[in-house]
Amino acid sequence: MKRTINFLPQSIIIMEHENVKQNRTPLLDAMIAYKKKNCTPFDVPGHKYGRGAQELAEIFGEKALSLDFNSMKSLDMLSNPTSVIKEAETLLAEAYGADYGYFVVNGTSSAVKSMIMAVCKPGDKIIIPRNAHKSVVSALIMSGAIPVYIQPEYDVKLGIFHGVDTEKAINTINENTDAKAIFLINPTYYGAVSELKPIVEHAHKHGMAVLVDEAHGAHLRFHVDLPSSAMEAGADASAVSTHKTGGSLTQSSAIVSRQGIIQESQIRKYLNINGTTSASYLLMGSIDGARKNLALNGTKMLQEALDIARYARNEINKIPGFHAFGREIIGRPGVYGFDETKLVINSCKIGITGFELYDILRDQYNIQMELGDAYNTLAVISLGDTYESIQVLINALKHIAVTDYRNAKNINHLKNVGELEVRMSPRDAFYSDTERIKLKESVGRISCESIMAYPPGIPIITPGEVITSEVVDYALHLKDNNALITDVEDIELNYILVVR
Ligand SMILES: Cc1ncc(COP(=O)(O)O)c(C=O)c1O
């Protein structure tokens, strides 16, 4: 019998028997069954179900440690799954409307690298929005692929980058028909989505694979009010951070893919190259459980998350000086849809930078936000949020609005870094002979490293790009604002490694 489940996106019409299948958790079940057998372990992990790590067992819970297994016959093996992991991956694929699913235990960074390496050999071109995560740069270094960057659309009012313009993406495909793939982000950290479908169709006309970063979109598939997922738009593969908005444990992630341009075995091959040989069952089991939860309860839980986000937006927009944008940004350049669970709070008018607001909320109000940038602070509203928890944030913002945190300084409107010249491939620059010079004296030189604040982990310069004065100013601005700088040798940003 066919039925439409309440709240479910129209596109997800689930056959009753499939929903029953989504009720299963083959990997979790096998883990519990193995634990019940009370086997005498002479394999690793050496804590032997927590007995050799009493303090950890007390802190993490004995149950968690007693389920911390390594690969074995009855529990399958991630590098070549044939039984319970394979079944769990198949259920994952079905839940996401994909042909194949792959569990990933080294974070979405590993998923992104494996996806790109599955498609690009050294020297192959790949089209990439320039606001991609640092894992994409790692993939370029490791694969030797050559990036063709598309500038995403910059929103001057909000001080953030959105998605890519459809026409720009299509033109870039036309100008680079020899590219092996186009990489897209769905959604950006701040919730904007590019118009996936026409870009996917156009890329496919040229035999190009479409790879999607859904690090912030593991939930999209499960509610009709959220933008389309990569698989719904016909993409070939997507890296899905189940751990970010899908409810699994930190570092667990997944790839879902479609039969066609990319072979299933290619993705598995590169996951094995990038991955561990000791995949954590706690992480994998958590993906199995999170998938079941999303498939069975996701729509209802996301309805609640959306209601909370909408309520919060409304309340925040009543507080003088704060602004939380919503669906009204749809239609701006690079915004073809918007994920309302990304609650971005702009504090420009109150005279506080996003970095400052992030710190104030944590240090003065015990509220941990997802990220702060020059102008905004981001709250991710997800499966575990409640009206009580959002009220804590709203009350804090009300208090901040009438407290003298404001230093009344004008938010220094930073010059956007803009398009940079790629003079060398990321791999060649990364492996070239380097020279360590003062950042302030580096304009015109080719960088050997990436500079970024984490989060969001979007590099302002990557290996192979030519350093400009805007890059130097932006980097120093990040430093002045105590942003967490990563990936450069000198995190004080006094020096940078450039090609000799
Ligand atoms: C857009 C994007 N892609 C990929 C990643 C990598 O995810 P992970 O931290 O799971 O490796 C992140 C992490 O924040 C991200 O923001």
Q: What is the pLDDT of residue 350?
A: 87
User: DSSP labels for 73-125?
Assistant: GGGB-TTS--SHHHHHHHHHHHHTT-SEEEEESSHHHHHHHHHHHHH--TT-E
Q: What is the pLDDT of residue 406?
A: 64
Q: What is the pLDDT of residue 351?
A: 86
At 71-105, the pLDDT tens digits run 999 999 999 999 999 999 999 999 999 999 999 99
Give yes or no for residue 189 CB within 6 A of ligand 1.
Answer: yes
Beta bridge partners of 486: 452
For the chain, give the mean pLDDT. Answer: 94
CATH 3.40.50.300 fits 71-294, yes or no: no
Give residue 56 CA to ligand 1 midpoint distance, Å.
28
pLDDT category, 20, cuts 50, 70, 90? confident
Q: E strand or H helix at 324, and its extent?
A: strand 323-324
Give yes or no for residue 196 CB within 6 A of ligand 1.
Answer: no
Biggest CA–CA distance in the chain, Å, is: 70
Q: What is the pLDDT of residue 277?
A: 96
Give residue 454 CA to ligand 1 midpoint distance, Å.
10
pTM, two decimal places: 0.94
Give residue 446 CA to ligand 1 midpoint distance, Å.
26
pLDDT at position 213 over 80: yes
pLDDT category, 10, cuts 50, 70, 90? very low
Q: What is the pLDDT of residue 414?
A: 65
Q: What is the pLDDT of residue 208?
A: 98
pLDDT category, 64, cuts 50, 70, 90? very high
At 248-288, the pLDDT tens digits run 999 999 999 999 999 999 999 999 999 999 999 999 999 99
Give residue 133 CA to ligand 1 midpoint distance, Å.
6
Q: What is the pLDDT of residue 455?
A: 87
Q: What is the pLDDT of residue 405?
A: 73
Distance CA 68, CA 378 (A): 34
- Judge whether 71-294 and 426-499 match in fold: no
Q: What angle do CA 436, 442, 446 make, to 5 degrees?
A: 80
Q: What is the pLDDT of residue 269?
A: 98
* Best CA proximity match to 92, nearest among 206, 221, 215, 6: 221
Give residue 57 CA to ligand 1 midpoint distance, Å.
30
Q: In this prediction, what percent of the chain has a pLDDT beyond 90?
A: 88
Phi, psi of 317 (to 5 degrees): -70, -10
Give yes or no for residue 268 CB within 6 A of ligand 1.
Answer: no
Distance CA 15, CA 23 (A): 13
pLDDT at position 4 over 60: no
Q: What is the pLDDT of residue 413?
A: 61
Atom of ligand 1 nearest to the CA of 132: 1
pLDDT at position 7 over 60: no
CATH 3.90.1150.150 fits 296-401, yes or no: yes
Considering the segment(s) 426-499 as one domain, its CATH architecture is Alpha-Beta Complex (3.90)
Quickly tell me which residue has 């930078």 as its tokens: 353
Q: What would the mean pLDDT of 177-198 be, rounded to a whole number?
A: 98
Candidate from 13-27, 40-54, 58-72, 436-450 with smallest mean pLDDT? 13-27
Q: What is the pLDDT of residue 37?
A: 96
Q: What is the pLDDT of residue 2?
A: 33
Give yes or no for residue 135 CB within 6 A of ligand 1.
Answer: yes
The token pair that represents 321 in the structure block: 């000086």
Give yes or no for residue 190 CB within 6 A of ligand 1.
Answer: no
Domain ranges of the chain: 71-294, 296-401, 426-499
Candidate from 3-17, 87-101, 408-422 with smallest mean pLDDT? 3-17
